[in-house]
Structure 1
């Protein structure tokens, strides 16, 4: 009986350490938004931001109000509220601790989203809270984030996000992950 209990405990610990399956960014969009994104016409990059001269706001907020509605969408997928996920992306640091580790950042699906035109829609931006902090020396280096996702509207001067996450772990993507 004792041996069975030990095997059961070992099995449960193994399951607890198993990595969650990767969540694809497009899964965070409702089907109608994914369809609209697929059918969207090419976007002009003829803006001051594309030339490297930024307006007063800049950041991840949409500057061009003539884009298709999907580019402003904050529609979410309710099934993700409270769900533990594993997602890869790129950080846009917001706050750091005394040691310079990022404790609050936006996670976006592609590198340089804070300077690309157009930025991702709010349902493709996740505010990540990670009190432990991570040293981010290069915002172009992809990271993995594991944690509990919440449907939570977040808005600040830099961006509007439709999701937030309390991260349990954050780490740089390593070559072996690819």
Structure 2
């Protein structure tokens, strides 16, 4: 008995350089346009038995625009960035360079007062491991890029430092197949 979980990174709300920690802004015009362009490839995923999304406005809007009618899952929320919430990485680095270095180097640290990276990855892995494992079952979830990255690291049992080496673009997908505690990455062929 296994389950297939396809994660879709939410469309963007801003350019990469202006992304903010715990960003709760809705989709911008470019994000809506990207959803329209990608819809033909992503809409078929709405056939999944279960359709979820992160509770953020952009994840919900992306799922709705694709016709998923997703159920918001609090466990799929982005990493809690504590007092860094609402700031860009450049702004935080200018104010707290040593704290940013500690955060990037030690997955157990939380100099921002929020959630350590290791706890975030474990939380996302816990969500994966509690998905119903009916043979042939499928799930689709629209989530923040950080959530997709954390799921990828968890599924491959990679060292948490690998989190920083996974680039998740808006509307990119990753499919994980398996059972709780034993996941595989599935790459789909383009027809």
TM-score by length of 2: 0.30
Whose RCO is larger (CA < 8 A, sep 6+)? Answer: 2
Larger Rg: 1
TM-score by length of 1: 0.32
Relative to its length, the structure with more strand (as a share) is 1
Relative to its length, the structure with more helix (as a share) is 2
